Chains A and B, each alone.
Chain A
Amino acid sequence: MVYCRKIFSGIGPMTQKKIKRKSVERTKQIWAAAFLVLPIIFYVGIRFYPTFQAFILSFTDWDIISRNKEFIGLENYRMIMKDPVFWKTLGNTGKYILFGLPINLLLGFSLAYTINNVTGKMHDFFKAVYFIPYITSMVAIAWVFRWLLQPAPIGVINKILILLGLPTQQFLLSLTQALPSILTTTIWQGLGFQMIIFLAGLKAIPLQYYEAAVVDGANNRKQLFYITLPLLKPTIVFLIVTGSIRFLRIFTEVLNMSYQGEGGPLNSTKPLVLYIYNKAFYEFEMGYASALTVILFFIILIVTVIQLRVMKDEK
Chain B
Amino acid sequence: MKNKNTASTIRILILTVLGIAMLFPFFWMIGTSFKQGSDVFNLSIFPKKASLENYRKLLSGSYFPMWFLNSLIVGGVVTLSVLFFDSLVGFALSKYKFPGMKIIFLLILSTMMIPTEMLVIPWYIMSSELHWVDTYWGVMFPGLMSGFGTFLMRQFFMGIPDDLLDAGRIDGLNEFYIWWKIAMPLVRPALAALAIFSFIGNWNAFLWPLIVSNMIDMYTLPVGLSFFNGEFQNQWEMVMTGATVATIPVLIIYLIFQRQIINGIALTGVKG
Interface residues of A (CB under 8 A from B): 24-25, 27-29, 31-33, 35-36, 38-40, 42-43, 46-51, 53-54, 57, 64, 111, 114-115, 117-118, 122, 126-141, 143-145, 147-148, 150, 153-154, 156, 159-160, 163, 188, 191, 193, 196-197, 199-200, 238, 242, 249, 251-252, 255-256, 261, 273, 276-277, 280-281, 286, 289-290, 293-294, 296-297, 300-301, 304
List, sorted by A's number, 18 A–B pairs whose CB atoms are closer than 8 Å.
A28-B175, A31-B175, A33-B98, A35-B88, A43-B107, A46-B123, A47-B114, A49-B122, A53-B122, A54-B121, A135-B254, A138-B206, A139-B243, A148-B25, A197-B266, A249-B115, A280-B121, A297-B114
CB neighbors of A among B242-269 (8 A): 242-244, 246-247, 250-251, 254, 258, 261-262, 265-267, 269
- A130 and B271 form a contact (CB under 8 A): no
Among residues 110 to 140 in chain B, which have CB atoms less than 8 Å away from a CB atom of chain A? 111, 113-115, 117-126, 128
| B141 / chain A contacts, CB cutoff of 8 Å | 46
Minimal beta-carbon separation of A170 from chain B (angstroms):
17
In B1-36, the 8 Å CB interface with A consists of 8, 11-12, 14-15, 18-19, 22-23, 25-26, 28-29, 32
Stretch at the interface among B49-57, B58-66, B184-192, B221-229: B221-229
Given A143-B229, A148-B25, A156-B43, decide whether A128 and B262 contact each other with a Cβ distance below 8 A.
yes
| C-alpha spacing A54/B116, complex, angstroms | 11
B237: nearest chain-A partner, CB-CB: A147
Contact of A293 among B115, B206, B239 (CB under 8 A): B115
**With known contacts A118-B8, A135-B200, A47–B111 Cβ distance under 8 A:** yes
**When the two chains form the complex, which single residue of A137, A154, A256, A304 contacts B113, counting CB atoms closer than 8 Å?**
A304
A140 to B98, Cβ gap below 8 A? no
Determine the distance from Cα of A139 to Cα of B200 in the docked complex, in whole angstroms: 13
Q: Mark B91-103, 1 if CB is under 8 A from A, else 0.
A: 1100011100000
| B89 at interface, CB cutoff 8 A | yes
The answer for the CA separation of A50 and B116 in the assembled complex, in Å, is: 10
B145 within 8 Å of A (CB atoms): yes
Summed over the interface, the residue pairs from A and B with CB atoms below 8 Å come to a total of: 236
In the assembly, what is the distance between CA of A138 and CA of B128, in Å? 27
B residues less than 8 Å from A32 (CB atoms): 92, 96, 98, 175
Chain B residues near A (Cβ < 8 Å): 8, 11-12, 14-15, 18-19, 22-23, 25-26, 28-29, 32, 41, 43, 85, 88-89, 91-92, 96-98, 104, 107-108, 111, 113-115, 117-126, 128, 141-142, 144-145, 150, 169, 174-176, 179, 200, 203-204, 206-207, 211, 221-223, 225-226, 228-229, 236, 239-240, 242-244, 246-247, 250-251, 254, 258, 261-262, 265-267, 269, 271
Contact A286 B118 (CB under 8 A): no
Report the minimum CB–CB distance from A192 to chain B (whole Å). Answer: 9
Once the chains bind, are B250 and A256 in contact (CB under 8 Å)?
no
CA distance A297 to B120 in the complex (A): 13
B119 touching A47 by the CB < 8 A rule? yes
**How far in angstroms is the closest Cβ of chain A from B129?**
11
CA of A113 to CA of B55 in the docked complex: distance in angstroms? 41
CA distance A127 to B41 in the complex (A): 33
Complex interface: chain B residues within 8 A of A163 (CB): 43
CB neighbours of B41 from chain A (8 A): 153-154
Q: Which of A25, A137, A300: most chain B CB closer than 10 A?
A: A137
Given pairs A39-B145, A242-B269, 14 additional interface contacts (CB within 8 A): A31-B175, A32-B98, A33-B98, A53-B122, A131-B262, A136-B247, A137-B206, A137-B222, A137-B225, A139-B226, A147-B239, A188-B22, A200-B266, A252-B222
Residue ID in chain A nearest B19 by CB atoms = A129
Is A128 in contact with B121, judged by CB distance below 8 angstroms?
A: no
Quote the shortest CB–CB distance from B1 to chain A (angstroms): 15
Most chain B C-beta atoms within 10 Å of own C-beta, residue among A132, A135, A286, A296: A135
* Chain B residues whose C-beta falls within 8 Å of the C-beta of A24 in the assembled complex: 169
- Residues B128 and A114 in contact, CB atoms below 8 Å apart: no
Instruction: State whether A117 and B117 are in contact (beta carbons under 8 Å apart), knowing that A141-B25, A144-B28 are contacts in the complex.
Output: no
Q: Look across to chain A and name the residue whose beta carbon is closest to the beta carbon of B29.
A: A144
Q: In the assembly, what is the distance between CA of A125 and CA of B13, in Å?
A: 13
Q: Tell whether, in the assembled complex, residue B204 and residue A137 are in contact, meaning their CB atoms are under 8 Å apart.
A: yes
Contact indicator A118/B246 (Cβ below 8 Å): no
